[in-house]
Structure 1
Amino acid sequence: MKVYGVTGWKNNGKTGLMERLVAEFTDRGLTVSTLKHAHHSTDVDQPGTDSHRHRTAGAQEVVLASPNRVAIMQELRGAAEPSLTELLARMRPVDLILIEGYKREAHPKVEVHRKAAGQPLIAPQDPSIRAVATDTPLDLDLPQFDLNDTVEIADFIANDLNLT
């Protein structure tokens, strides 16, 4: 499986770009999955549901299955957060996995940068960043794309990964 990341500081547009890239690559006929890292505590389950009751009773893993989707919730219960490599190994094979976050990992990435966010660029210190999607021209020796030009960014990623 091929992997590519979208990284950058908070409120720079990572999720919007991810959403557009997933749509663009699936429109091109590729199978795509995503992996999103959250620094904060997150819960996709709701109190009162049967699956939530199973987890709070002590289950290590709860699988919720329906005709439309399957959700697997695993409780770490004090164990270390799985590494990116471990998480990728658990995913079903697809043509492309797009990763949001995981700034410090070594997979290839596009950095999202908005001038108004006022954050410094990560790219100058990170050789895994291959390009920057931005709303302003930057003095940087990397390919730069208009943040809203999803097709051009997708073309760059596809070429970088030799996806057809």
Structure 2
Amino acid sequence: MSHPDNTLPRIGFAAWSGSGKTTLLKRLIPELRNRGLRPAVIKHAHHEFDVDKPGKDSYELRHSGANQTLVASSRRFALMVETPEIEEGATPDLDALCAKLDPARSDLILVEGFKNADLPRIEVYRKANDKPPLYPDTPGVVAVATDAGGLPFHGPVLPLDDPSPMADFIIEHLSLYPLLNG
């Protein structure tokens, strides 16, 4: 589906480290795809990362000073952009990153991290982490996915280990019904 203003609907996932955000997304993505949706993911990394490997041509070209390096095959491509203008440890601009995604290839963006971004988010809360829920102090929490009962949350409380109700919630919250199969 084409999005008139070239923006995709987004929903974020917030949690303490080790709560299972990525594990949850790995279950949720196939559920959304089975319903005919094409999710994109933007994940915030709090540490340096590299998709390249020393010795590979693209790595060597990038490390020789290329500001942008695009590696392409018949099945996928990856664009690596050096961002020295962003202060070390600063959070990248989520809107700018979302604008890099092709809205003709996806229907929604699942955002992992970016806790200060202005977007609706689902908190992933695991009782075993022995930490307090984020929702009292984190803006934009519209639902909580948890394995703990009895949370005093004002909105939907979703099961952590079943992606189907979460997919239902996201489809409803982001008004994605026109994009569904059948």
Return the TM-score normalized by structure 2: 0.86
Following the alignment from structure 2 to structure 1, what is the Cα–Cα distance between the partners of residues 134 and 53?
36
1:50 corresponds to which letter in structure 2? D
**Which is worse superposed, 84-93 or 73-82?**
73-82
How many matched pairs? 164
Q: Deviations 1:53-80 (Å, cap 9, x if unpaired)?
A: 0111010000000011100001113434
1:24 corresponds to which letter in structure 2? E
Residue 115 in 1 paired to residue 127 in 2? yes
2:171 corresponds to which letter in structure 1? A
Equivalent of 2:26 in 7, 19, 33 = 19
For 1:102, the equivalent position in structure 2 comes to: 114
**Which blocks of at least 5 consecutive residues in structure 2 are unaligned?**
1-7, 178-182
**Which blocks of at least 5 consecutive residues in structure 1 are unaligned?**
none
Identical counterparts, % of pairs: 42
Following the alignment from structure 1 to structure 2, what is the Cα–Cα distance between the partners of residues 55 and 79?
18
Q: Deviations 1:104-134 (Å, cap 9, x if unpaired)?
A: 1111110001011122211112230100000
Following the alignment from structure 2 to structure 1, what is the Cα–Cα distance between the partners of residues 31 and 57?
36
Following the alignment from structure 2 to structure 1, what is the Cα–Cα distance between the partners of residues 128 and 13?
19
Equivalent of 1:68 in 54, 66, 75 = 75
Aligned partner of residue 124 in structure 1, secondary structure: coil
Residue 92 in 1 paired to residue 102 in 2? yes
Following the alignment from structure 1 to structure 2, what is the Cα–Cα distance between the partners of residues 158 and 147?
17
Higher relative helix content? 1
1:5-154 matches, cutoff 5 A: 5-80=12-87, 82-93=92-103, 94-137=106-149, 138-154=151-167
Following the alignment from structure 2 to structure 1, what is the Cα–Cα distance between the partners of residues 138 and 85?
31
Following the alignment from structure 1 to structure 2, what is the Cα–Cα distance between the partners of residues 133 and 163?
20
Task: Kindly report structure 1 stretches of 4+ aligned residues shifted beyond 4 Å.
Answer: none
Following the alignment from structure 2 to structure 1, what is the Cα–Cα distance between the partners of residues 86 and 45?
17
